[in-house]
Amino acid sequence: MSSPVHSNDHDFEIKPSPHLETQISTIKSPTSEENRQQGWFSNFKDGFKPMKLDNVDPNMTELEKANFIAASTPAERAMKPRHLKMIAMGSCIGTGLFIGTGTTLRTGGPAGILIAFFIVGIQVYCVIQALAEIAVAFPTSGSFVQYATRFVSAPFGFATAWIYAINWIIVLPLELVAASLTIQFWNTEINSAAWVVIFYFFIMFIHLFGAKAYGEAEFWFSLIKLVTVIGFIIFGIVIDCGGGPNSDGYLGGKYFHDPGAFANGFKGVCSVLVTASFAMQGTELTGLAAAETANPRKNIPSACKQVLWRIIIFFMVCLTILGLLVPYTDKRLMGSGSADASASPFVISIRNAGVKGLPSVVNVVIMLSVLSVGNTAVFACSRCVASLANQGFAPKIFDYIDQQGRPLGGYFISFLFGLLCFLAAYKDEDTIFTWMMAISGLSTLFTWSSIILVHIRFRHALKYQGRSTDELVYTSQTGLFGSYFALTLCILILIAQFWIALFPIGKSPNPTDFFHAYLTAPVWFFLYIFWVFYKRDFRPWIPLKDLDIDEGRREVSLVLVQQEIEEEKAYLRTKPFYYRIMKFLC
């Protein structure tokens, strides 16, 4: 069962945890012959029966049991490479880019948003590389939600996982309402509540068919978004060069000089940092889907590498074009709603150019983007809730996973809170939704910080236990230095957001604006302190010697994997230089 791995200095064996040696999980599912005999409907109905894990050792500790269940959960593994790559490329292209850039342009100016998104983009690349290394080594159900408890501490994992879950619980009803409001762009007389119902059941229908349906839906959603962004970049270059119907000639960098490159100086740039983090939320989903892809070693790194292209093309280039076409003083950037397409700088630039019909096309894409985020919210929330229940952080009933790998307990929670979308008919719904968003406003930064901290702890545990990165089938391109750098950026952004929350731009200090911008932090600390005293667990972290760095690895023979990697490297050495560069980046 164990396989020798040779390092440069000494030989040693990687031995899986004794629980994996002795406890073999079996899944009670029909054979292919039985499937043919029972018929489609019977198979579909039986798929909802609970997954069974036999022979789980009752002597395991809570942490060991959680790790064992996460490693043994038979996620459907239906995610194909094209699904993961498109999720990685398009998961964070949504309202944050199409709508949110209106606010960031107004508060930061065209140069301010480029600087802020560039800083966050570097941070995101370091985070996703760290996550790829851990997710390939441990493609467990729950991914980084599980890792925080395993490699840091139970209180830290409890607080971080719940903040992440709450974020996606809240996002679903918000996005359903936002999707219904996009219809108002065409001044339809149909009540928004009717569209809410349609979109609610549409997303529910997708997840009825599990991870494969989610991946397929996200593939097409993301493809449409990518085509739209690329088309807009080409359109923007033409317009900036004076090619539009209402063109006043060559624009060039006019708006960088008048009204200027920065709207509120350094403070304006700081205000954009958290918005940029929110816009790139979803990058970590490739790690959450780790257990649901057939070949994590090849699929996850390839998907994660493409984050670099997304940052360069779909954010930096696109934001540069927007800064060239729309001045930050444009009154229309003051849109009131999160789905107000008329406030989108994309729509404003198209209208300024006098191109008819395109604003409606962009609004359709905005609506699909909002639905895509809602679809993602269910996927992320359900896996997170199941992981919480496995770790003992939530009622046991929510760890119900059926024979098709669908976390039905997580689906129940997600769709139950999704019913909050019907608050859209309430007169004070704006106030309610604003405070709901405040709870999870900084959740992205806390999640990324936990991923980075897990990577740092994992690397130190390897070194402490006399192991090396030679046994890893994929290592982060940014290494340990990149993780320390990204963690430093997370801390600095949290400090900058605290400053902006305490002294908002154009306003006097007030508690309402402060908690709207910074409520996540006290909620996280409350959850952390609660678990510390509830479980009497006062350890800030698990000692390096006690960290389990074996259980949960899917690869059986690391020697064979290393041999395969060497063969791939040898093959690459025979290829031209440009091909090797492409493989390194993609």
| CATH number of the domain where residue 280 is located | 1.20.1740.10
129 located within any domain: yes
Helices (H), 408-478: 408-418, 429-439, 443-464
Structural domain span for residue 498 = 3-41+51-555
82 located within any domain: yes
Q: Which of 89, 162, 137 is nearest to 455 (CA)?
A: 137
Say how many CA atoms lie within 13 Å of 491 toward its Cβ.
8
pLDDT at 454: 92
334 located within any domain: yes
242 located within any domain: yes
69 located within any domain: yes
pLDDT at 25: 39
Pairwise CA distance, residues 142 & 475, whole Å: 21
The kind and range of the H/E element at 11 are strand 11-14
pLDDT at 85: 66
**Weakly modelled stretches of the chain, pLDDT under 50:** 1-35, 74-76, 336
How many angstroms separate the first and last alpha carbons of the chain? 34
Instruction: Give the CA distances from residue 74 to residues 46, 109, 401, 554, in Å, rounded to whole numbers and listed in that order.
Output: 16, 48, 9, 12
540 located within any domain: yes
523 located within any domain: yes
Domains in the chain: how many in total? 1
How many other CB atoms are there within 10 angstroms of residue 49's CB atom?
13
SS3 letters across 179-243: HHHHHHHHCCCCCHHHHHHHHHHHHHHHHCCHHHHHHHHHHHHHHHHHHHHHHHHHHHHHHHCCC
578 located within any domain: no
How many other CB atoms are there within 10 angstroms of residue 27's CB atom?
13
pLDDT at 14: 41
